[in-house]
A and B are shown apart, each in its own frame.
Chain A
Amino acid sequence: MVNTILILSYCFLILSILGTLYRLVKGPSAPDRVQALDALGINIISGIAIFSVSSRNTGFFEVILLIGILSFIGTIAFSRYIERGVVIERGQPK
């Protein structure tokens, strides 16, 4: 029962990854791609979670947390880049 659910979720996950990949490749604009990358990160989180369950392994939970953080930071950085042209602004000149 559990196995069936896991495999089913894998299939859906793969479908959604393919979908986001299509968006990542196709574009058409940079924000679309950033969105796709963010979604891809979340898909990967779920993929690793399902994998951890199916392989009865707790060693990858840290990876899940990390991807969450990185995906967030990355999306923020991209957004700032698209919005203002720079990621880290210089301090105010005194």
Chain B
Amino acid sequence: MDLLHLVIMAPFIYAGFVPFLYKEGRQIHTGWLVVMLPIVLFSTFARMIPTIANGETVQKDLAWIPSLGINFTVYVDGLALLFSLLITGIGALVVLYSIYYLSKETEALDYFYVYLLLFMGSMLGVVLSDNLGVMYVFWELTSMASFLLIAFWHDREKSRYGAQKSLLITVFGGFSMLAGIVLLQQITGTFSVREIIGQGDSITTHAMFLPAMVLLLIGAFTKSAQFPFHIWLPDAMEAPTPVSAYLHSATMVKAGIYLVARLSPIFAGQAVWFWLVAGFGIATLFWGSFNAVKQTDLKAILAFSTISQLGLIMCLLGLGSAAVYFGLEGNNVLYTTATLAAVFHLINHATFKGSLFMIVGIIDHETGTRDIRQLGGLMSLMPITFTIALLGAASMAGLPPLNGFLSKEMFFTGVLEASQLSLFNMQTWGILFPVLAWLGSVFTFVYCAILVFKTFRGKFQPDKLEKTPREAPFGMLLAPLILVALVVIFGLFPNMLASSLIGPALASILPQLLSPGEIFEAQLSLWHGFTPELWMTIGVIAVGTLLYLSLPKWIGLYRLFPQKLALNQAYDQMLIGLERRANQVMRLHMTGLVRDYLVYIFGFVIIIVGSTLFLSNGFVFETDHAAPIGVYEAVLAVVMVIAACVVIFSKTRLTAILATGSVGYMMALFFVLFRAPDLALTQLIVETVSVALFLLCFFHLPKLKKEGSSLSFKLTNLLISLGVGLVVTLVAFASFGTNGFEPISTHFLETSYKEAGGLNVVNVILVDFRGFDTLFEIVVLGMAALGVYVLIKLRLAKGDEP
């Protein structure tokens, strides 16, 4: 147990105390008691920056299930530290924001902060675990915590729908990720990411390598809302805004990005990896930004924008993996630009998207609506909010001099370079990357403009608003102010991040490109000359402005898109269809008729026993040990068969009972013939009693009438009864024919008198040699008697207590 383990466990432990703090300190908002924790954790991680920046890493082990190779190994390198700082830093800001956002009087704050802390702890666990097994545990915990947080207002139907949808999709992905982890473990024999990377190229030729890669990528894509798994994210916007800001923009949706970055050293350099990650990334980027434009809800715009930006980062990570293909030779700096841009944009997105979500929350809080059709003209009423929104949106659109501009420029550099690459068939399809990227950026510009100008400019419509809007309290503005300040600072002084955070993060994504002791020298500058990228950005701004100004003319185009092809529709139909199919299958075989179930049971007996007998060549027919058949046995058998047939064909109940009784008496006679007096005695008595019981029961029943059953039904029954009889007979013959061992009955015959003092061997076996069986047969009889008594005496109406 090290300090680092404690850091991960701290939110979990603290979550245990939150309900008490909530109960005891009713006067103070619980958030004030919670906000300390992420600040402390953030400073703990911040103190590690110099160590990590020097290219060192920290690793601490803690045995959990050593026999399975699952150990709670905490590993801190550049990537893990970057994410940890994001999680704790934005976590602190979100908690601060939530103090002003959530009311102390009306909200269940104890639940909220317990869930939030659970999420924070599990997210830290995901990024800091070196062991994939442990990481999966934390991964699923983030899904659970997200599920709880989305449905925080669980009395609303849409919240529950969104929570269920996100849980189904992310857990589907998590499960496939588990399969991928297990495959990786089977290939390499270890769960540790370090050791898997250490095995290097030897695992790439394994047959399970590709399935493992695809399964892990499904996990990453579902969590990070990549196409076509992005549909849960817009529905997750039913969560309270601090949750949307924290989980669904800054941290949880980046878990998939983290996974891809973390596993890059294993899979990068493979064509499949390159195409899947970059291809799905660019598709998501375009589709997300394209769909964001048509939304009218502010949070929905931000949700699609998050999808689009995540696609951008994913695409960059895919493009960056090409650098590994070229190895150490050549001009590596050129190819690592994409990865550098990915890491940089990861930070930028967390800052501006977090602030934008908080701004939307403020607008919602102050006006009572998030619908852009009802909003407008808030600029003079909420100047600070407007400034923050403008800066955040400008950064998202990629305008200078904010940090979004830098990452967008580098993104363009990345896609332009990628289209020049001479590998993985890029000559034919590579041109798609810059085109889609540019189109996506144009749409990004348009929705950023919508976000700001539709809300803050235009006509003020006070009659459509529930409240009179006014500037938010300072405490609520503090967190987005800090984030937007970071947006500006990172934009103006990008190099302060380069050596401390981005370099080490690059080193952990692309370790193959470093010789020992070397560290990445990432260079970021605001101005880099008249490059094609700059012209692309200028084009984005020009075309974007034109498109925004002519928006009312072409927004109707979205309605042309058929609703049937929408992915949400597909998801809903799939769920409904699944349920209907399951019900159909259920109704098909669960008919409620016992005779149908008996048909299944006997049918399976015939098929399974019969086929086993046939397939294993088990049938033997041998008459060597058979005793000669006497006249008496033959006559008795014939009589028994006749009586049995009478039972089947009888027209009245009495005949059937009498015939059954005679079968029983014939059985007793067989016992006599085969020298079993005790059995014969018992059989006679039992047969008599049961015949009497049958009479007792059947007296109360209506007359046996001929049931009008169809011929096919009768034929099925005939076939099945014949089949069962045949199979049992064959098995009996087979088991008789393969009698391989001496019976142990000679032992009983010899020792019956010597050891137990009895001459009646049957009785000695029953009470001496195997008395236990007898004991429990007695218990069975006692239970049956009690049961009969209860059934007759206890007559409860519905709902009565016994």
Tell me the A residues contacting B by CB distance below 8 Å.
10, 14, 17-18, 21, 24-25, 27, 30, 33, 37, 40-41, 44, 47-48, 51, 55, 57, 59-60, 62-63, 66-67, 70, 73-74, 77-78, 81, 85-87
Contact with A along B665-690 (1 / 0, CB 8 A): 10011001101010011001100100
Contact between A21 and B639, CB atoms less than 8 A apart: yes
Contact between A60 and B688, CB atoms less than 8 A apart: no
Q: State the CA gap A77–B658 with chains docked (Å).
A: 13
Contact between A77 and B692, CB atoms less than 8 A apart: yes
Q: State the CA gap A54–B266 with chains docked (Å).
A: 89
**Cβ distance A93 to chain B, nearest Cβ, rounded Å:** 18
Given that A21-B639, A70-B684 are known contacts, is A37 also in contact with B675, CB under 8 Å in the complex?
no
For residue B326, CB closer than 8 A to chain A, the reply is: no
| Chain A residues whose CB sits within 8 angstroms of the CB of B668 once the complex forms | 44, 63
Contact between B639 and A27, CB atoms less than 8 A apart: no
5 A-B residue pairings within 8 Å (CB atoms): A21-B642, A24-B658, A33-B655, A44-B668, A66-B681
Indicate which residue in B635, B658, B684, B696 contacts A33 across the interface (CB closer than 8 Å): B658
- Chain B: CB-nearest residue to A51: B672
Contact between A17 and B688, CB atoms less than 8 A apart: no
Indicate which residue in B662, B681, B685, B692 contacts A37 across the interface (CB closer than 8 Å): B662
Contact with A along B618-646 (1 / 0, CB 8 A): 00000000000001100100010011001
Q: State the CA gap A58–B409 with chains docked (Å).
A: 110
Indicate which residue in B655, B684, B695 contacts A66 across the interface (CB closer than 8 Å): B684
Q: State the CA gap A74–B658 with chains docked (Å).
A: 11
Indicate which residue in A10, A25, A44, A74 contacts B691 across the interface (CB closer than 8 Å): A74
Contact between B695 and A87, CB atoms less than 8 A apart: yes
Indicate which residue in A25, A60, A66, A85 contacts B685 across the interface (CB closer than 8 Å): A66
Q: State the CA gap A59–B646 with chains docked (Å).
A: 32
Beyond A62-B677, A66-B684, 14 additional contacts (C-beta under 8 Å) are: A18-B639, A21-B642, A21-B643, A24-B658, A37-B661, A41-B665, A48-B669, A48-B672, A51-B673, A59-B677, A60-B672, A63-B681, A63-B684, A66-B685
| Chain B residues whose CB sits within 8 angstroms of the CB of A67 once the complex forms | 684
Q: State the CA gap A46–B654 with chains docked (Å).
A: 26
| Residue count of chain B within 8 Å CB distance of chain A | 30
Contact between A57 and B684, CB atoms less than 8 A apart: no
Q: State the CA gap A54–B263 with chains docked (Å).
A: 90
Contact between B672 and A14, CB atoms less than 8 A apart: no
| Chain B residues whose CB sits within 8 angstroms of the CB of A70 once the complex forms | 684-685, 688
Which residues in chain B, 429-462, are within 8 Å of chain A measured between CB atoms?
Answer: none
Q: State the CA gap A24–B668 with chains docked (Å).
A: 18
Indicate which residue in B662, B673, B688 contacts A40 across the interface (CB closer than 8 Å): B662
Q: State the CA gap A82–B699 with chains docked (Å).
A: 10
Q: State the CA gap A37–B643 with chains docked (Å).
A: 12
Indicate which residue in B646, B654, B669, B680 contacts A30 across the interface (CB closer than 8 Å): B654
Contact between B654 and A33, CB atoms less than 8 A apart: yes
Contact between B695 and A77, CB atoms less than 8 A apart: yes
Residue among B632, B688, B699 with the most chain A CB within 10 A? B688
Contact between B635 and A62, CB atoms less than 8 A apart: no
If over half of A's interface residues share one DSSP class (helix, strand or loop), that class is named, otherwise mixed; here it is: helix
- Chain B: CB-nearest residue to A50: B632
Contact between B654 and A44, CB atoms less than 8 A apart: no
Given that A14-B635, A63-B680 are known contacts, is A73 also in contact with B688, CB under 8 Å in the complex?
yes
**Cβ distance B564 to chain A, nearest Cβ, rounded Å:** 70
Tell me the B residues contacting A by CB distance below 8 Å.
631-632, 635, 639, 642-643, 646, 654-655, 658-659, 661-662, 665, 668-669, 672-673, 675, 677, 680-681, 684-685, 688, 691-692, 695-696, 699
Q: State the CA gap A62–B682 with chains docked (Å).
A: 11
| Chain A residues whose CB sits within 8 angstroms of the CB of B639 once the complex forms | 17-18, 21
Contact between A24 and B662, CB atoms less than 8 A apart: yes
**Cβ distance B786 to chain A, nearest Cβ, rounded Å:** 20
Given that A21-B642, A63-B677, A63-B680 are known contacts, is A81 also in contact with B672, CB under 8 Å in the complex?
no
Q: State the CA gap A59–B695 with chains docked (Å).
A: 32
- Chain B: CB-nearest residue to A82: B654
| Chain A residues whose CB sits within 8 angstroms of the CB of B688 once the complex forms | 70, 73-74
- Chain A: CB-nearest residue to B665: A44
- Chain B: CB-nearest residue to A73: B688
Q: State the CA gap A37–B695 with chains docked (Å).
A: 15
Contact between A87 and B696, CB atoms less than 8 A apart: yes
Q: State the CA gap A18–B684 with chains docked (Å).
A: 20
| Chain B residues whose CB sits within 8 angstroms of the CB of A18 once the complex forms | 639
| Chain B residues whose CB sits within 8 angstroms of the CB of A10 once the complex forms | 631-632
| Chain A residues whose CB sits within 8 angstroms of the CB of B658 once the complex forms | 24, 33, 37
Q: State the CA gap A53–B326 with chains docked (Å).
A: 103
**Cβ distance A77 to chain B, nearest Cβ, rounded Å:** 6
**Cβ distance A69 to chain B, nearest Cβ, rounded Å:** 9
Q: State the CA gap A51–B677 with chains docked (Å).
A: 12
- Chain B: CB-nearest residue to A74: B688
| Chain A residues whose CB sits within 8 angstroms of the CB of B691 once the complex forms | 74
| Chain B residues whose CB sits within 8 angstroms of the CB of A47 once the complex forms | 669
**Cβ distance B289 to chain A, nearest Cβ, rounded Å:** 87
Contact between A63 and B692, CB atoms less than 8 A apart: no
Contact between B655 and A27, CB atoms less than 8 A apart: yes
| Chain A residues whose CB sits within 8 angstroms of the CB of B661 once the complex forms | 37
Contact between B642 and A60, CB atoms less than 8 A apart: no
**Cβ distance B638 to chain A, nearest Cβ, rounded Å:** 9
| Chain A residues whose CB sits within 8 angstroms of the CB of B692 once the complex forms | 74, 77, 87
| Chain B residues whose CB sits within 8 angstroms of the CB of A63 once the complex forms | 668, 672, 677, 680-681, 684
Residue among B635, B654, B668, B672 with the most chain A CB within 10 A? B672
Q: State the CA gap A58–B672 with chains docked (Å).
A: 12
**Cβ distance A72 to chain B, nearest Cβ, rounded Å:** 11
Q: State the CA gap A68–B646 with chains docked (Å).
A: 25
| Chain B residues whose CB sits within 8 angstroms of the CB of A41 once the complex forms | 665
| Chain A residues whose CB sits within 8 angstroms of the CB of B680 once the complex forms | 60, 63
| Chain B residues whose CB sits within 8 angstroms of the CB of A40 once the complex forms | 662, 665
**Cβ distance A10 to chain B, nearest Cβ, rounded Å:** 8
Q: State the CA gap A81–B695 with chains docked (Å).
A: 9
Q: State the CA gap A81–B699 with chains docked (Å).
A: 9
| Chain A residues whose CB sits within 8 angstroms of the CB of B659 once the complex forms | 24-25
Contact between B646 and A25, CB atoms less than 8 A apart: yes
**Cβ distance B629 to chain A, nearest Cβ, rounded Å:** 16
**Cβ distance B667 to chain A, nearest Cβ, rounded Å:** 12
Q: State the CA gap A73–B692 with chains docked (Å).
A: 10
| Chain B residues whose CB sits within 8 angstroms of the CB of A44 once the complex forms | 665, 668-669
- Chain A: CB-nearest residue to B683: A63
Residue among A44, A48, A63 with the most chain B CB within 10 A? A63
